[in-house]
Amino acid sequence: MVDAGELDPWIKLEGPLNFRDLGGYSTISGQRVRPRLVYRADNLALLTATDVTRLEYLGLRTVIDLRSAEEAERLGRFPVDQYSQPVTYTHLSVVEDVVGVRDPSVDDQTYLNSRYQHLMERGSATISSIFHIFAKRESYPLVFHCVAGKDRTGVVAALLLDLLGVPDETIAADYQLTDRATRAWFERMQRTRPEEIISIRQLPQILFSSNPQTILFLLDRIRKSSGSVEEWLMTLGITTGEIRSIRDLLLGVAESV
């Protein structure tokens, strides 16, 4: 599998632990995703004042919050009032319940696969809204995020990278990079809020693992049901013009990156 970590996509921040640049990946056609335009992240309510300054330096214009209404209310939102530049904050909840009810008769991977299918089915209208934003030049640079930056964020990232022509092995490697952030998050929790580790350990542990087979399974299901990610997005109302715009905005020749 391609080592996506070789591109060092990490944007080091004091609060969020999983803020990464999706730029730099090569496509099947020999192009490359343009850097410093689209980012994926975990909970941006954790941004410190120093972090906000860093994002201002990146020129961030759009923040897409994929969390549920309850999560946004409980955990906080992107600090728009601390951001000195014009920025558009958009809350687009993919699903209100990520964990769901675990059927004890199924194994961990089957459980997570079913949650991703649920996310795609129940979150299709939201995913459509996200790709409408991706098609607008004025949206960039942008970041989309959830709580951990793994499931909802991972799915949106995979769909976008597939649409841009990034090969499956690279998409899977990018998804798996969240494991590094998860380990750092557990270490932080052990230091700062050890009393919460017990309750966290009671959740299905597959939720804290970025097995590349999970995202590959999802892409395979889309292709079997719709032909391709592009065709699936078109059933959601994304036009051929918008798809062309996304590719024009985010792809460049390899030599120019």
The residue extents of the domains of the chain are 4-97+106-256
Q: What is the pLDDT along the chain (257 residues), one digit of tens a residue?
A: 444 444 579 999 999 999 999 999 999 999 999 999 999 999 999 999 999 999 999 999 999 999 999 999 999 999 999 999 999 999 999 998 777 776 777 888 998 899 899 999 999 999 999 999 999 999 999 999 999 999 999 999 999 999 999 999 999 999 999 999 988 888 887 777 777 766 677 777 777 889 999 999 999 999 999 999 999 999 999 999 999 999 999 999 865 43
Structure tokens at 151: 């499931």
Positive or negative torsion for Cα 78, 187, 94, 171? positive
Report whether 175 contacts 154 (CB < 8 A): yes
- Cα distance between residue 50 and residue 105, in whole Å: 47
138: its two tokens: 């004025």
Note the pLDDT of residue 2: 44
What residue spans of 164-251 are helical by DSSP H?
168-176, 178-192, 197-201, 212-226, 229-235, 240-250
Q: What is the maximal distance between C-alpha atoms in the chain?
A: 52
**Is the CB of residue 40 less than 8 Å from the CB of residue 22?**
yes
Q: In terms of Cα–Cα distance, which of 156, 158, 157 is closest to 127?
A: 156
CATH topology of domain 4-97+106-256: Protein-Tyrosine Phosphatase; Chain A (3.90.190)
Position 32 scores a pLDDT of 97
Burial of residue 193 (CB within 10 Å: 0-12, 13-18, 19+) is: exposed
Whether pTM > 0.85 for this model: the answer is: yes
For residue 7, what pLDDT is reported? Answer: 58
CA distance 53 to 82: 9
Tokens of 39: 């980012």
The Cα–Cα gap between 43 and 10 comes to 15
Q: Which of 194, 173, 122, 181 is nearest to 152 (CA)?
A: 122
What residues pair up with 38 in beta bridges, in sequence order? 142
Say if CB 112 and CB 207 are below 8 A apart: yes
The per-residue pLDDT for 162 is 98
88-91 vs 62-65, strand pairing mode: parallel
pLDDT score for 62: 98
Q: What is the 3-state secondary structure (H, E, C) of 153-182?
A: HHHHHHHHHHHCCCCHHHHHHHHHCHHHHH
Q: How far is CA 127 from CA 54, 168, 252, in A?
A: 28, 20, 24
